[in-house]
A and B are shown apart, each in its own frame.
Chain A
Amino acid sequence: GAGVSQSPRYKVAKRGQDVALRCDPISGHVSLFWYQQALGQGPEFLTYFQNEAQLDKSGLPSDRFFAERPEGSVSTLKIQRTQQEDSAVYLCASSVDRGNTEAFFGQGTRLTVV
């Protein structure tokens, strides 16, 4: 595909359940970002990869959140023991270079914790 692809588009999880969200960035893009977007709010930074290296994870809200990009392409955001406050849209973005360049966003995964 030509753009950033995220799956699943929608996920309903029971409180306490673990979830895994997938991001396929644009081929060849070095940088990959995860953002959390609550309803009516702007995207909030979670974590950032440059190739396979996780350079910044300061935005991850707790140790229940974990992200990886083992081969420098596909990335997975995992949330353990989900809680209601984790309900949000999780956006993935990629850019061709290290930063200061256009970030292309995926459609997002809407996570609802019930």
Chain B
Amino acid sequence: GENVEQHPSTLSVQEGDSAVIKCTYSDSASNYFPWYKQELGKRPQLIIDIRSNVGEKKDQRIAVTLNKTAKHFSLHITETQPEDSAVYFCAASPSGNTPLVFGKGTRLSVIA
């Protein structure tokens, strides 16, 4: 089955700097890659997703890149703000009938 590895497990950045979180996956059939943000005590919420037919997607300060050949994808947050502090999870889905497989998460701390 699919296996998703996520790095780093913790990340601290100064406000205004960029943050990058990387994930690798094992199943070459995976074609959907969402990123979720989970604030303390709250539910995971989708912040951006990418499908295998594109290599990059951007939404304001957030971007995701996908390299299918290398089977890795990354989340980029620019101009970080304190409210970006949370745990971020990447996930991969091999097919339409298969549930998401999550990485173990990255705890991002943005220091003002």
Contacts and interface: CB of A to CB of B under 8 A. Distances in A.
Interface of A: 4, 33, 35, 40-45, 48, 50, 55-56, 91, 97-108
Nearest to A3: B43
B105 A41 contact: yes
Interface of B: 6, 31-32, 34, 36, 42-46, 49, 51, 89, 93, 95-105
Contacts of B31: 100
Given A42-B105, A100-B31, A105-B44, A56 B99 contact: yes
Given A102-B49, A105-B45, A42 B98 contact: no
Contact of A99 (B89, B95, B104, B105): B95
B104 A41 contact: yes
A88 to B, nearest CB: 14
Nearest to A58: B1
B56 to A, nearest CB: 19
